[in-house]
A and B are shown apart, each in its own frame.
Chain A
Amino acid sequence: RKEVEQDPGPFNVPEGATVAFNCTYSNSASQSFFWYRQDCRKEPKLLMSVYSSGNEDGRFTAQLNRASQYISLLIRDSKLSDSATYLCVVNRYGNKLVFGAGTILRVKS
Chain B
Amino acid sequence: DGGITQSPKYLFRKEGQNVTLSCEQNLNHDAMYWYRQDPGQGLRLIYYSQIVNDFQKGDIAEGYSVSREKKESFPLTVTSAQKNPTAFYLCASSIGVYNSPLHFGNGTRLTVT
Contact = CB atoms under 8 A, between A and B. Distances in A.
Interface of A: 4, 8, 31-32, 34, 41-46, 49, 87, 89, 91, 94-102
Given A32-B99, A95-B94, A95-B99, A43 B107 contact: yes
Interface stretch (B13-21, B38-46, B67-75, B76-84): B38-46
Interface string B25-50: 00000010001000011111100101
21 contacts: A4-B42, A8-B40, A31-B98, A32-B99, A32-B100, A43-B105, A43-B107, A45-B104, A46-B101, A46-B102, A87-B43, A95-B31, A95-B50, A95-B94, A95-B97, A96-B45, A96-B48, A97-B45, A97-B102, A99-B43, A99-B44
A44 B43 contact: yes
A3 to B, nearest CB: 9
Interface residues of B, number: 26
A8 B42 CA distance: 11
B42 A87 contact: yes
Contacts of A96: 45, 48, 58
**A8, A31, A34, A99 — most chain B CB neighbours (10 Å):** A99
Contact of A99 (B42, B96, B101): B42
Contacts, number: 55
Contacts of B98: 31-32, 94-95
Contacts of A45: 104
B104 A100 contact: no
Contacts of B45: 96-98
Contacts of A95: 31, 50, 94, 96-100
Contacts of A8: 40
A94 B104 contact: no
Nearest to B102: A97
Nearest to B41: A101
A98 B42 contact: yes
B104 A44 contact: yes
B106 interface: yes
Contacts of A43: 90, 104-107
